[in-house]
Amino acid sequence: MSTTILNDVQIEDAKQHLTRPLATPTDLCVDATKEISGALTAILADVFAIYMKTKNFHWHMSGAHFRDYHLMLDEQSAQLFAMTDDIAERARKIGGRTIRSIGEISRMQRILDNDAEYVEPADMLAELCEDNKQLAAELRAAHILCDERNDFSSVSMIDNWIDETERRVWFLYESYRH
């Protein structure tokens, strides 16, 4: 029979866990959980913002390349939406919290909305390209944080999200440049 001796940090983390009813047990310290889930939740707000903007542009696309752009934006919006559940569940798996409302998304998002009545197709694609570049940079920053905190599962997921985001940037860029 082995005896486990807890250090002061582990004891404090255990006490804090008991006072947070949605805190999933994890071997990550409380500070790591807060930092990582905070970074993931901010990314989630941005992914929802890009998703909505992509759908907006998909719905309001017009012009000579309508079909190609319309279908590309539909594909990209589906990819973005698919990321949302994985991001939110990752934050919860490590004992953090995540977004609870559209209002919270609007308060947290760093991606700007576009409510313009009309946007030229090339401008739509260029704007989405820049938004996705911004998202890639935010994902890289979260990757560094997760790596420093030894959250290798988040690192692995973020690797995939960066690759998907870079692909969207590539397709958007190649589509709007003439």
Query: Which run of H or of E encompasses 45?
Result: helix 30-59
Domain presence at residue 132: yes
Calculate ∠ Cα 146-12-17, nearest 5°: 70
**60 SS3 class:** coil
pLDDT of residue 44: 98
pLDDT of residue 166 exceeding 80, the answer is yes
In this structure, is residue 83 part of a structural domain? yes
Maximum separation of any 2 CA atoms in the chain, in Å: 74
Residue 125 belongs to what domain range?
Answer: 27-176
- pLDDT band, residue 126 (cuts 50/70/90): very high
Is residue 156 assigned to a domain?
yes
Which single residue is written with the structure tokens 């582990």? Answer: 10
pLDDT (average), residues 110-135: 97
pLDDT tens-place string over residues 33-90: 999 999 999 999 999 999 999 999 999 999 999 999 999 999 999 999 999 999 999 9
DSSP 8-state secondary structure symbol assigned to residue 149? T
Percentage above 90 pLDDT, the chain: 80
Question: Which residues have C-beta within 8 Å of that of residue 102, sequence separation ≥ 6?
Answer: none
pLDDT higher than threshold 80 for residue 10: no
pLDDT for the residue 106: 97
**Is 80 exceeded by the pLDDT of residue 119?**
yes
CB 172 within 8 A of CB 125: yes
Query: Does residue 3 surpass a pLDDT of 80?
Result: no
Q: CATH number for the domain including 147?
A: 1.20.1260.10
How many structural domains does the chain have? 1
Per DSSP, 165 falls in state H
Would you state the pLDDT for residue 24?
A: 72
Residues with Cβ within 8 Å of residue 61, at least 6 apart in sequence: 69, 70, 73, 121, 124
Q: What single-letter amino acid sits at 87?
A: I
Look over the chain and give the mean of its residue pLDDT values, rounded to a whole number.
90
125 within some domain: yes
Confidence tier at 22 by pLDDT (50, 70, 90): low
Residue 16 in domain = no
- Give the pLDDT score at 19: 53
Q: Give CA–CA dist 141/99, Å, rounded.
A: 20
